[in-house]
Amino acid sequence: MDFALKGDILYSKSLNKVSENARSYLVCVDGKCEGVFKKLPSKYKGIKVYDYSGNLIIPGLVDMHLHAPQYMFIGLHMDLELIDWLNTYTFPTEARYKDIRFAKKAYDIFVNDLIHSPTTRFSMFATIHNDATLYLVDKLDKIGFKGYVGKINMDRNSPKYLIEKTEKSIKDTIKYIESVKKYKNIKPIITPRFIPSCSDTLMRKLSDIVKTYDLPVQSHLSENRAEIEWVKELMPSVKCYEEAYDRFDMLGSVTSTIMAHYVWPDEKGIELMKKRNVWVAHCPSSNRNLSSGIAPVGRFLREKIKVGLATDVAGGSYLSMFRAMEDAITTSKIRKCLYDPEYYNVTIEQALYLATISGGEFFGKVGSFEKGYEFDAVVIDEKSIPTVLMKELTVLERFERFVYRAKNKVKAKFIAGKKVI
Ligand code: GUN
Ligand code: FE
């Protein structure tokens, strides 16, 4: 059904430029944007108009990296660094998803919260378990969410209660891909957890699957300094961590790839990232919580490396992409102030760019209200933040203020033209 939304419309046009449209109409035809209009053009006369006058309307936000099963311990156990955090808290929690009754309860809570959030697209990690992961896929697809969900692979350096035999890992991955084929909205993505938990044989076989099925890849890269040292020990013949993935054609040489974190780029590795067009999922909350560092996202933007924004639940301690925007801005200022004066800090315009068209490009024509983009939109109700204003604010100022006083809940949400709430 074709329709229009009426309200105060904001979207990113490019890295530093936004389009502000007070009291305007955003038209959807066949699930795609027709554009933003001051007055509804006569050819759309008679279409349904959702009147959100006085509310902000922005593109749906793109979460480039999060772990659905970890939502159950969000906000707990933030006192350790990566490897200890994984071993002490993360792996025992993920192991619970072997029990489908536990998985159903946990994923029901997670998906319900995701529905009310500003997120419309995502690239998500599940666990090694096919049954639980397929339950998650089915739920997300039925709602109309669009994005990628990966069944994790891990066959080494993992606890005995959360490890796969190499052959079984491959078999289960193929089964998973075949089972997800019937879904329209959710697609599979090849998900080796990270180099330390995947043997060379597993990586080679996953790489064959990537080529056979033409699937994208997601993993973790250069998040923590101890992790980087570990990868050097595990693969002494590679010059840098980036090359460890590239050895197996898993760094964008044959398919699109998302690498989460990338807090500590290697100077040779960063050239490889550019050459391979790899997407970095910037996870500012997680990088702070796990004392991983602050990724040089200003440098990535300047050097035209592809970057999207991510929550990395539960390294990141919230599901809200509004809060991820705030953290991208604030952590970049700390980096600039403390040890990188050359570096430019992230602005509100850039934060919106990262969370919409920049990350959105991974999913196709996503993240903008220009004609031809998929119609992903969320409506923000500022009445949830009572205030007395000193002056009238611009549309961008209102958005900025909302980001800093962020609530996760949105008033309405549309994904590819489907009204979800
Ligand atoms: N590296 C490998 N696994 C994980 C994970 O679950 N979370 C984070 N933040 N980093 C990882
Ligand atoms: Fe992660």
Say what the pLDDT of residue 177 is: 98
Say what the pLDDT of residue 344 is: 78
- In the predicted model, what is the mean pLDDT of the chain? 97
pLDDT band at 271 (very low <50, low <70, confident <90, very high): very high
Ligand 1 atom with least separation from CA of 125: 6
- 220 CB within 6 A, ligand 1: yes
Which residue owns the Cα nearest ligand 1 atom 9? 315
CA 273 to chain centre: 18
Does residue 343 register a pLDDT over 90? no
- What is the whole-number distance in angstroms between the Cα of residue 365 and the centre of ligand 1? 29
Which residue owns the Cα nearest ligand 1 atom 3? 193
Q: Do domains 3-59+368-419 and 61-363 have the same CATH topology?
A: no
User: Which tops the pLDDT comparison, 79 or 186?
Assistant: 186
Q: Which ligand is nearest to the CA of 259?
A: 2
Percent over 90 (pLDDT), the chain: 93
Say what the pLDDT of residue 50 is: 98
Separation of alpha carbons 288 and 284, rounded Å = 6
CATH number at 3-59+368-419: 2.30.40.10
Q: Considering only CA atoms, which of 80, 169, 77, 165 is closest in space to residue 127?
A: 169
Say what the pLDDT of residue 1 is: 83
Q: List, as one string, the DSSP characters of 253-294.
A: SSS-EEEEE--S--HHHHHHHHHHTPEEEE-HHHHHHTT---
- pLDDT tens for residues 184-216? 999 999 999 999 999 999 999 999 999 999 999
Identify which of 64, 73, 81, 86 to mutate to test ligand 1's pocket (most ligand atoms within 8 A of the CB): 86
Does residue 165 register a pLDDT over 80? yes
Largest CA-CA distance found in the chain, in angstroms, rounded: 67
Say what the pLDDT of residue 341 is: 79
- What is the whole-number distance in angstroms between the Cα of residue 270 and the centre of ligand 1? 21
Say what the pLDDT of residue 340 is: 82
Separation of alpha carbons 193 and 159, rounded Å = 14
Q: Which residues contact 83 (CB under 8 A, 6 or more apart)?
A: 224, 226, 227, 230
User: Which tops the pLDDT comparison, 114 or 339?
Assistant: 114
Ligand 1 atom with least separation from CA of 227: 1
Does residue 373 register a pLDDT over 90? yes
Average pLDDT on 137-152 reads 98
- What is the whole-number distance in angstroms between the Cα of residue 29 and the centre of ligand 2? 36
- 315 CB within 6 A, ligand 1: yes
What phi-psi label fits residue 418: left (phi over 0), alpha (psi between -120 and 50 degrees) or beta? beta
Which residue owns the Cα nearest ligand 1 atom 5? 86
pLDDT band at 87 (very low <50, low <70, confident <90, very high): very high
- 94 CB within 6 A, ligand 1: no
Q: So what's the architecture of 61-363 in CATH?
A: Alpha-Beta Barrel (3.20)
Say what the pLDDT of residue 77 is: 87
Which residue owns the Cα nearest ligand 1 atom 8? 315
- What is the whole-number distance in angstroms between the Cα of residue 133 and the centre of ligand 2? 16
Say what the pLDDT of residue 342 is: 76
- Mapped onto helix, strand or coil, the DSSP state of residue 389 is coil
In the chain, what are the domain boundaries?
3-59+368-419, 61-363
Say what the pLDDT of residue 42 is: 97
Average pLDDT on 98-106 reads 98
Average pLDDT on 334-359 reads 92
- 223 CB within 6 A, ligand 1: yes
Average pLDDT on 246-261 reads 98
Average pLDDT on 92-116 reads 98
Which residue owns the Cα nearest ligand 1 atom 7? 315
- What is the whole-number distance in angstroms between the Cα of residue 67 and the centre of ligand 2? 6
Say what the pLDDT of residue 406 is: 84
Q: Which ligand is nearest to the CA of 153?
A: 1
Average pLDDT on 225-236 reads 98
Q: Where are the alpha helices (DSSP H) in 6-77?
A: none
pLDDT band at 391 (very low <50, low <70, confident <90, very high): confident
Average pLDDT on 211-226 reads 98
- 194 CB within 6 A, ligand 1: yes
pLDDT band at 339 (very low <50, low <70, confident <90, very high): confident
